[in-house]
Amino acid sequence: MVNLELFNIVDEIKKVSKAFVVYPKNVNAENAVVLPVMLSSKLLPEMEVEDNAKREQLLLGLQSLPISTQIDKLKARIDMIGAACESAEKVLADTRKAYCIGTRQGIPVVPTLDKAQAAKIQEQENLLRAAVNSGEALRLPPDQRQNPPALPLHLVDVLGGGDGGAQAFPEASGMYSKNTPVSSSNLSGQSPLMQVPGSQLMGRSAASPGGTSITNFDNTTTSPLPYANSPRSGTNIMNTPSPQQQNQQQKQQQQQQQQQQQQQQKMMQLPPQQQLLAQQQFRQSAMQGLGQNPLHQLHDLQGQAQQKFQSLHGQHQMQFSPSMGHQQFQGRQLPSGHVPHGIGQNQLNQGSQMNRHLSQFSGAANSALFNAAQTTPNQMIPNMSATMSSQSLLPRMQPQFEMPGNNPQRSHASQILSDQMFNMGATNTGGMMPLPQQQQQHGSQGAFGNMAQNAQNLQSNMVALQGTPQNHPNFNQQRQQNQQQ
Amino acid sequence: MECVVQGIIETQHVEALEILLQGLCGVRREPLKVHEICLKSGPNLGAVPSEVRLICNLEQTEPTWTVRFVGGAMRGAGAEQLSVLVRTVIESKASKNVLRLFYALGYKLDHELLRVGFAFHFQRGTQMTVTVSSVNKMPQLHNTDEAVPVTPGIQLVEVTAPASSETYTEVASAVSSFCEYLAPLLHLSKPGISTGVVPTAAAAAASLMSDGGGTTL
């Protein structure tokens, strides 16, 4: 007998599981023979029990009702379940659409933008990206690049009273126009100096060769500068007490700026070779607020012997840059024979400094220096230290100290310079007041203002400066020796 | 060096983006208010003008200044395959005198802009920064108080990550994988390449802004 029940459901079961096994639990001799027949015709006992249990669960409460009712109720249940499934499926699909995740089957539906709107947005986007990356649409026309009426807080103290840099590019005068943004109040007096063609001076410590002639520079000597080492005429310098004496610390940085600017200007006036050398040293020097302007001094030397001589003194007071020692030595040695006995080695050292400076100047300047030096033989010791310690920014200025005995070529100029420096030191230790008087007597004393500022430094350094050889390492040695003296 | 991508987002969706970034980055947002001054060198400094950006952070009571030089982007076949832009960048803190210094060197003001928005600084494989800001221009010189947006309806989104010449590939992949998380709201691309807005932005923004929905069955 075939169990038609099983036979009927085989097809449906096949959909679910490809194979099913009926495993009889209890096989013994008694039913072994009939087992195959029973399997094919009847559910196994355990299967029958499970079947009954499930039927009971399904037809809970319906057993008592007539069959048709049972059927109806079961159908209703099926329908409800079907409806719930459908609504759930719908919700899932909607959510997927919103998140654009994509349906399990089919193509994801992407919402599209209105074309006009998209074009507008594209245009805006291009504008924004251009503005951020290259500054398009952000540049103000030149006429609007004036000083703003009211600066925001963070720019008030930065820009101060003027915004020269905010000028449009066509204004090539740039830095050195009157509205220079290098806004130091002390520099204001120097602004006339800056009117040298600024384009040549901007941003570079290396001055362009050629450029302005000395006469151009002289044309700016109309307004007196507040610093004694200005390239203005010596008389003008002396008439105004150097403010360096008063505010040494405060003005160091400003003077450094001035020095650098003035040095640049001076560089322009020098021959190209010297300018190159000067450029090297300019970069290397550490401007420590000595307030000297070697450029000024150089200029003075060229134009007016005595006055320039004074400026040279100031240059000597520039900081000594040991690294430049051997580079800057220009082969001139200080002649020791000419040095008056009253003058110590310091004077000689000063002279060597001056030598290097003077070597680049005309002979007339040298002779002028010499004459000036002759008048002040024994007063330069305090100033010597000042000049010695400073590291000149320019190669000329670099104080390269040599042993006096080794320098038979010591020029007069060096003596002159040293003498002048001594004069300054003697009279101006700690103060610049005697300058006016001295200047009248000795034109070469114009640079004393600078020297006095460094009087203390100079004195301490003077000893160190004695007889330094051209090589840098020696300088250190001598320094120690000098200090021990 | 840095890896950088830029994108745009409509202003109405910025809040949703902030929520998304909050979730992705895991750090608090930081307000951003930066006055960026772009300077160009004068002719005295060379034939090719160089550009320097001074960035003044106005968020703190004491403004801090940064100098930033943006160099050229990496070129080559490898660079084109990357989805981010790799470029040299030199940045340094500076004192408030930096503007004066550059003016003294001969630089001139080219343009300036004000960025207002927020930023997230976080770590995700590599250090990354996402800034969402509106870019404002000033009708008068330096007048940050009266700055108006260049594009009122659109804000700029920028993702940057510092990199070096050895690590830029990993950083680039980290940045691009992070950007994929932002795909529902915006697309990011190399600066200079426009992307448009994303069509799903509205829906994504709506879902981010909603309370999460979901009724219990």
User: Min CA distance, B207 vs chain A (Å)?
Assistant: 8
The pLDDT, as a whole number, for residue A38 is 64
CA nearest to A153, candidates B124, B206, B142: B142
Q: Which among A168, A181, A203 has CB closest to B45?
A: A203
Residue A70: which pLDDT band, with cuts at 50, 70 and 90? confident
Can you give the pLDDT at residue B92?
94
Average pLDDT over residues A219-223: 46
* Extents of the domains making up chain B: 2-211
Do B82 and B172 meet the contact criterion of CB atoms below 8 Å apart?
A: yes
What is the value of ipTM here, to two decimals?
0.90
Predicted local distance difference test score (pLDDT) of residue B117: 94
- Whole-angstrom Cα distance, residue A307 to residue A346? 22
Higher-confidence residue: B63 or A20? B63
Residue B146: the pLDDT is: 85
pLDDT in tens, B110-129: 898 999 999 999 998 889 99
Instruction: Provide the 10 A C-beta neighbour count for residue A120.
Output: 13
Q: Which two tokens stand for residue A383?
A: 């100033």
Q: What is the mean pLDDT of residues A114-126?
A: 85
Most confident listed range (A87-91, A243-247, B211-215)? A87-91
Neighbouring-strand partners of residue A455: none
Instruction: Answer whether residue B162 shows pLDDT above 90.
Output: yes
For residues A34 and A37, what is the distance between their CA atoms, to the nearest angstrom? 5
| CA distances (Å), origin B82, targets A423, B162, B193 | 73, 15, 13
Place of tokens 């109806």: A72
Please name the residues in contact with A83: beta carbons below 8 A apart, sequence gap of 6 or more: none
CATH class of domain segment(s) B2-211 = mainly beta
Determine the distance from the C-alpha atom of residue A331 to the mean position of all C-alpha atoms in its chain, rounded to a whole number.
Answer: 38
- Location of structure tokens 């950006």: B53
Query: What is the model's pLDDT at position A149?
Result: 66
Per DSSP, helices labelled H in A184-293 are 198-201, 214-219, 234-239, 243-246, 248-269, 272-284
How far apart are the C-alpha atoms of B46 and B51, rounded to whole Å?
Answer: 12
pLDDT of residue A256: 52
- Calculate how close chain A gets to B153, using CA atoms only, in Å: 8
| Residue B74, token pair as written in the block | 């990496």
Percentage, residues of chain A above pLDDT 70? 22
Label residue A111 by pLDDT band (50, 70, 90): low
Report which of B117, B68, B82 is spatially closest to residue B3, judged by C-alpha positions. Answer: B82
Contact A183, A161 (CB under 8 A): yes
At A20 the pLDDT is 58
Q: Is the pLDDT of residue A183 over 90?
A: no
Closest CA to B32 of B140, B113, B103, B99: B113
Choice between A9 and A111, residue whose per-residue pLDDT is larger:
A9
The pLDDT of A13-40, averaged and rounded, is: 68
Q: What is the pLDDT of residues A282-338, one digit of tens each?
A: 444 444 444 444 444 444 444 444 444 444 444 444 444 444 444 444 444 444 444
Residue of A nearest to B41 (CA): A169
Work out the widest C-alpha separation in chain B, in whole angstroms. Answer: 76
Contact A131 B113 (CB under 8 A): yes
For the segment A235-246, the average pLDDT, to the nearest whole number, is 49
CB B18 within 8 A of CB B190: no
For testing contact with chain B, the best of A143, A169, A187 (most B CBs within 10 A): A169
pLDDT band at B159 (very low <50, low <70, confident <90, very high): very high
Q: With an 8 Å Cβ cutoff, is A142 touching chain B?
A: no
Chain B contact for A112, CB < 8 A? yes
- Residue B27 CA, chain-centre distance (Å), reads 18
Predicted confidence band at A480 (pLDDT cuts at 50, 70, 90)? very low
> Does A154 sit within 8 Å of B113, measured CB to CB?
no
State whether B56 and A144 contact (CB < 8 Å): no
CB atoms closer than 10 angstroms to residue A25: 8
Of A122, A158, A199, nearest to B194 by CB-CB distance is A122
Q: Structure tokens of A129?
A: 């990206």
pLDDT of residue A295: 43
Substitution target in A140, A187, A268 with the highest count of B β-carbons within 10 Å is: A140
Q: Does residue A472 contact residue A325 with C-beta atoms inside 8 Å?
A: yes
Could B154 and A163 be called an inter-chain contact, meaning their C-beta atoms sit closer than 8 Å? no
Other CB atoms within 10 A of residue A402 CB: 26
Residues on chain A touching B199 (C-beta within 8 angstroms): 110-113
From the list B116, B133, B155, the residue with the least C-alpha distance to B10 is: B155
Beta-carbon contacts of B173 under 8 Å, excluding residues fewer than 6 positions away, are none
DSSP, collapsed to helix, strand or coil, labels residue A391 as: strand
Contacts of A186 (CB under 8 A, 6+ apart): A226, A243, A251, A254, A255, A258
The pLDDT assigned to B6 comes to 92
Provide mean pLDDT across the span A172-200.
Answer: 41
Contact A144, B140 (CB under 8 A): yes
Q: Are the C-beta atoms of A399 and A458 separated by less than 8 Å?
A: no
Residues in chain B closer than 8 A to A137 (CB atoms)? 137, 150
Over range A346-359, report the average pLDDT: 46
Q: Which residue in this structure is represented by tokens 């470029």?
A: B87
Cβ pair A233, A307 in contact under 8 A: yes
Q: What is the pLDDT of residues A417-436, one digit of tens each?
A: 444 444 444 444 444 444 44
What tokens appear for B51 in the block? 């550009």
Give B-chain residues touching A115 at CB under 8 angstroms. Answer: none
> Which amino acid, one-letter code, is at A258?
Q
DSSP reduced 3-state for A272? helix
| Most confident option among A121-125, A315-319, A384-388, B5-9 | B5-9
- Mutate one of B54, B87, B98, B151 to test the A interface: name it (highest A CB count within 10 A): B151
- Flag if B106 and A150 touch (Cβ within 8 Å): no
In chain B, the residue whose alpha carbon lies closest to the alpha carbon of A162 is B100
Q: Backbone phi, then psi, for B106, in 5-degree steps?
A: 110, 10
Tell me whether strands B30-41 and B107-123 are parallel, antiparallel or unpaired.
antiparallel
DSSP chain B: -EEEEEEEEEGGGHHHHHHHHHHHH-S--EEEEEEEEEEEE-GGG-SS--EEEEEEE-SSSS-EEEEEEEEEEP-SHHHHHSSSEEEEEEEEEE-TTHHHHHHHHTEEEEEEEEEEEEEEEEESSSEEEEEEEEEEE-SSTT-GGG-EESSTTEEEEEEEEE--TTTHHHHHHHHHHHHHHTTTT--EE-TT------TTHHHHHHHHHS-------
The DSSP code for A198 is H
Quote the pLDDT of residue A227.
53
- Over residues A117-136, the mean pLDDT reads 87
Helix ranges (DSSP H) in A42-110: 45-58, 67-99
pLDDT tens profile B191-217: 888 888 888 888 788 888 776 544 443
Lowest mean pLDDT among A60-74, A138-152, A314-328, B118-132: A314-328
Mean pLDDT, chain A, integer: 55
Nearest to B191 by CA among B154, B144, B157, B151: B157
Q: Is the pTM of this model over 0.80?
A: no
B161: β partners: B3
pLDDT at position A158 is: 74
Angle at A129 between CA B148 and CA B67, to 5 degrees: 80
pLDDT band of residue A465 (cuts 50, 70, 90) is very low
